[in-house]
Amino acid sequence: MLPPLSLLQSTPASPSLSNYGDGTLAAASKTLLFGLRPSISLAGRPPVPRRLFLSSASASWDAVTGGAGGRARDAVMSIRRGMELFRKGDLSGSLVEFDRAIELDRRQKAYLWQRGLSLYYLNRFEEGAEQFRLDVAQNPNDTEESIWCFLCEAQVYGVGEARRRFLEVGQDPRPVMREAYQMFKDGGEPEKFVSNFSNSSENERFYALLYAGLYHESQNDMDAAKTHVVAACQTSYGSRSDDYMASLAKVHCSCRNWSFG
């Protein structure tokens, strides 16, 4: 059973804890350990990017799960190292750390979306899809993991079959991700999608460009993919934010030898 929310307030405040709304262990632990997707203007508060709340993550995990001693804290530190290695473009090194975290604490496996991203860029698509499916099973409102599962499976099965296997999730509170989800799920027009957010906040513009690029890549239109992902990197949010996905956009370009400077 989860402790009362008041006991968790020592962690950095999250405007989006209710986004995971069912009160389950999976929801709270993911929120406390890994942070949330950017949440656009919820309750007038600033967005919280995809990143670890490192200062208190291990203590929060123990509070939520009832404690697992030093191995749980060591696992969190491995995740931290893995994320930093990914940001630097060391994909293999990041995967070693994420796998070490699972060895230290098996509970981590179902929440390690970061591991799924590393697997995608290492072209280990079936394993990446498995990771994202585990994540969505724990949090059935996880829009981005549903999309990333599709991206992995499109490489394995083709777009048509990947769309038939598409993981349906609950409604994302972010307009940009709601539209992205429908575009990947049903097919759509990436240019119209980007245009819809051209005058929106910087983080919405970044996410629209990034996911339009990823959509084009799933369709094997690499020229259009390059145009959009590079543009995402060049937004002020993409170039300055410490959001994990801003780092991912740069890693994406580096993996494909695309210049974004």
What average pLDDT does this structure show over 32-41? 41
Angle at which helix 143-157 crosses helix 202-218, to 10 degrees, equals 20
> Tell me, which fold does domain 1-173 have in CATH?
1.25.40
Whether 27 shows a pLDDT value over 90: the answer reads no
* The pLDDT of residue 68: 53
**pTM attached to this predicted model:** 0.79
Has residue 215 got a pLDDT over 70? yes
Q: What is the pLDDT of residue 237?
A: 97
Q: Lowest-pLDDT range, 63-67, 138-142, 169-173, 186-190?
A: 63-67
- Of 61-75, 116-130, 182-196, the least confident: 61-75
* pLDDT at position 69: 64
Q: What is the pLDDT of residue 261?
A: 75
Q: Is the pLDDT of residue 96 over 70?
A: yes
pLDDT at residue 222 is higher than 70: yes
Q: Mean pLDDT, to the nearest integer, of 112-136?
A: 98
SS3 assignment for the chain: CCCCHHHHCCCCCCCCHHHHCCCCHHHHHHHHHHCCCCCCCHHHCCCCCCCCCCCCHHHHHHHHHCCCHHHHHHHHHHHHHHHHHHHCCCHHHHHHHHHHHHHHCHHHHHHCHHHHHHHHHCCCHHHHHHHHHHHHHHCCCCHHHHHHHHHHHHHHHCHHHHHHCCCCCCCCCCHHHHHHHHHHHHCCCHHHHHHHCCCCCHHHHHHHHHHHHHHHHHCCCHHHHHHHHHHHHHCHHHHHCCCHHHHHHHHHHHHCCCCCC
Q: 45-76, pLDDT tens digit by residue?
A: 444 444 433 433 444 555 455 455 689 999 99
Q: Where are the domains of the chain?
A: 1-173, 174-261
